[in-house]
Structure 1
C-alpha cells in the first residue's frame, strides 16, 4: 500500500509564504492552471511542472471548464 497526500493551494499576488520553496521541493506533483482570455472563448491550460521520478511533459493539457470538465486527450502523456 502506498500512502500519499494531495495538496491544492492557490495563491494570487506577489506575497508568497516564507515556506513556499520547501513546499515545492517536498511536492511529488506540481500543476499550474492558467487561463488565456485572448480568444473569444477563454482557453484553460493545465501544465504539469513537476513529477517526482519522471520528466514532466513539455505540452500543456487543454481543458474546458463548465458543468463538466473536458480534457483534450488527442496526445498521449
Structure 2
C-alpha cells in the first residue's frame, strides 16, 4: 500500500460500516473519510431496487438523490440524471 500511495498520492478503502455492534473507532473512521457511500436494497417492489447514495464528499455537498443500480450478471447505473 505505501507504493500505491506514493504513486497516486491517495488511498482507497472499502469498508462495511452498517451493523449494530460498531467499533469504538467508527466515528473517527467516518470523520477521516473523504467519501462515504451507502448501498441500500429496497424489497418493497416486485424487483429489488438497489440505491447508491453519496453521504459525504470532502469539500463538496453530496447530491440529494441516489443512483439507481441494477445488479445481475453486469452492473447497470441509471444515468438519466446528471450529478
Q: TM-score range, shorter-chain basis? A: over 0.9
C-alpha displacement of 1:13: 2.9
Query: Which moved further from structure 2: 17-26 or 4-13?
Result: 4-13
Q: Which has the larger radius of gyration?
A: 2
Give the match's secondary structure for 2:19. Answer: coil
Could you report, residue by residue, the CA deviation over 1:35-58 in whole angstroms, capped at 9, with x for unpaired residues?
000001000000000000110000
Unaligned 5+ segments in structure 2 are 1-6
CA–CA distance in 2 between the matches of 1:56 and 1:69?
Answer: 22
State the Cα distance separating 1:11 from its structure 2 match: 4.1
Secondary structure of the residue aligned to 1:24 is: helix
TM-score by length of 1: 0.93
Gaps of 5+ in 1: none
**Structure with the bigger percentage of helix:** 2
CA distance in structure 1 between the partners assigned to 2:19 and 2:34 by the alignment: 24
Q: How far is the alpha carbon of 1:2 from its aligned partner? A: 4.8
How many pairs are equivalent?
Answer: 77
**Secondary structure of 2:8's match?**
coil
Aligned to 2:59, which of 53, 57, 75?
53
